[in-house]
Amino acid sequence: MTITKEQNGTALTIFLSGRLDTTTAPELESEIKQDLEGIKELTFHFGNLEYISSAGLRVIMTAQKIMSKQGSMTVTNASEEVKEIFEVTGFSSIIDIR
Amino acid sequence: MKELNIQAVVENLDEVIAFVSSFLEEMNCSPKDQMPIEVAVEEIFVNVAHYAYKPVTGMIRIVCNRIDNDAAIEISFEDSGRPFDPLAKEDPDVTLSAEERPIGGLGIYMVKKSMDNVQYEYRDGKNIFTIRKNIHL
């Protein structure tokens, strides 16, 4: 998995590529814990995300809980397969997926 | 039939996924089916790695089979750890809001939702978890 970030004032976009799984999720979690302070608008760009498991969903939920308190969060460009997982787990109704 | 015997530790996840994905590729499984199957394999394997033999480690046997004239696949996971039925756990409430929802607890639920059949049995000192998925060629 590769994590790329782009910050513009209080807006942060995180581009993920590869696989967000049990092995790679802790890396994203520690990035999020460092970077979200003062962020009001968080965007996850999933255009190159090939795969997500429950370990990845945990981190997305952690980020959503933080952002619900301090601003907003959006997930963009997810593949059909990843969207299907958001559907099944009910994430579609609590996360802004575009 | 393809079989892998491997130490049930999280560090072996990539090897387990590579094993299953090569089986799925041989079957010309579509990406639409491949991802949920890989997710199911990850969830079950990681569950065994985390809990079955705690605090020590042990082996897991993973067997992939083609069934119904290649219209479906069946993957079974066998470990000799403590008896544990993952299906006995109550499903999480996926209608709760972000504030109310716990962070985790979705793994086995995703397996149940995305596979066409899941089955657990404890036989001859082994936990045997089997998943089946119809694949659409």
Tell me the pLDDT tens digit for each residue of B11-30: 999 999 999 999 999 999 99
**Is the minimum CB–CB distance between B69 and chain A shorter than 8 Å?**
no
| Whether CATH 3.30.565.10 fits B2-134 | yes
Q: How confident is the model at residue B99 (pLDDT cuts 50, 70, 90)?
A: confident
Is there a domain that residue A87 lies in?
no
Best mutation target, B37, B101, B116, B133, to test chain A (most A CBs within 10 A):
B101
* Alpha carbons A88 and A35: distance in angstroms, whole number: 29
What is the structure's pLDDT at B33?
93
Is there a domain that residue A88 lies in?
no
pTM here? 0.95
Inter-chain touch B98–A23, beta carbons under 8 Å: no
- The per-residue pLDDT for range B78-97, each reduced to its tens digit, is 999 999 999 998 999 999 99
Q: Please, how many CA atoms are within 13 Å of residue B63, restricted to the half-sphere of its CB?
A: 10
Domain extent at residue A64: 2-79
Q: Nearest residue of A to residue B14 by CA position? A: A23
* Alpha carbons B55 and B48: distance in angstroms, whole number: 12
Structural domain boundaries in chain B: 2-134
Residues A17-43: what's their mean pLDDT? 96
Is there a domain that residue A71 lies in?
yes
The rounded mean pLDDT for chain B is 95
Is-contact B46 B107, C-beta < 8 A?
yes
In this model, does residue B62 exceed pLDDT 90? yes
ipTM of the complex: 0.93
Q: How confident is the model at residue B137 (pLDDT cuts 50, 70, 90)?
A: low
CATH of the domain at A62: 3.30.750.24
Residues B45-54: what's their mean pLDDT? 96
CA distance B35 to chain A (A): 7
